């Protein structure tokens, strides 16, 4: 089975721009979660989508948004980028959801905001 695929692997953007990151989950997985990873804050939960519906949301500003398509693929959008948004963004899929099934992480998208 193919793993979780995230594109692109690296992105460099300028403050004020917006960015869209993509995640293709493992076939058959209906839950997709997004995490931001930084050296100072660790792994912070952004949101989880299950069957095209946002099921959970972390404590991030409204500039961070996401969606999930009928084929379970998910996108994350960050508008009006700030320097502090520089991070590794990880997507994880699971069959049922975060609480009771393992998360399978993608290799992430490394976003640098200048």
Partner 1 sequence: QQPVQSPQAVILREGEDAVINCSSSKALYSVHWYRQKHGEAPVFLMILLKGGEQKGHEKISASFNEKKQQSSLYLTASQLSYSGTYFCGTAGSGSARQLTFGSGTQLTVLP
Q: Which of 40, 1, 35 is nearest to 108 (CA)?
A: 35
Residue 60 makes contact with partner 1 by CB under 8 A = no
Instruction: Show Cβ contacts of residue 4 under 8 Å, excluding neighbours closer than 6 positions.
Output: 23, 24, 25, 26, 91, 92, 93, 104, 105, 106
Largest CA distance in the chain: 39
Give burial (CB, 10 Å; 0-12/13-18/19+) of 40.
exposed
Between residue 35 and residue 54, which ones bind partner 1 under the rule CB under 8 A?
35, 42-45, 48
Residue 86 makes contact with partner 1 by CB under 8 A = no
Residue 22 or 56 with smaller CB distance to partner 1:
56
Residue 79 or 98 with smaller CB distance to partner 1:
98
Residue 19 or 103 with smaller CB distance to partner 1:
103
Identified binder of partner 1 from the candidate list 90, 93, 109, 111, rule CB under 8 A: 90
| Contacts with partner 1, residue ranges (CB under 8 A) | 4, 33, 35, 42-45, 48, 55-56, 58, 90, 97-108
């Amino acid at each position: 089975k193919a793993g979780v695929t995230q594109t692109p692997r690296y992105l460099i953007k300028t403050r004020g721009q917006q960015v869209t990151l993509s995640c293709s989950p493992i076939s058959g997985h209906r839950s997709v979660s997004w995490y931001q990873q930084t050296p100072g804050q660790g792994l912070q939960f952004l949101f989880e989508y299950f069957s095209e519906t946002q099921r959970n949301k972390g404590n991030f500003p409204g500039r961070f948004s996401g969606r999930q398509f009928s084929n379970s693929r998910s996108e994350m959008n960050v508008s009006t980028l700030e320097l502090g948004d520089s991070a590794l963004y990880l997507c994880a899929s699971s069959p049922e959801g975060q609480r009771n099934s393992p998360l399978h992480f993608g290799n992430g998208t490394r976003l640098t905001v200048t």
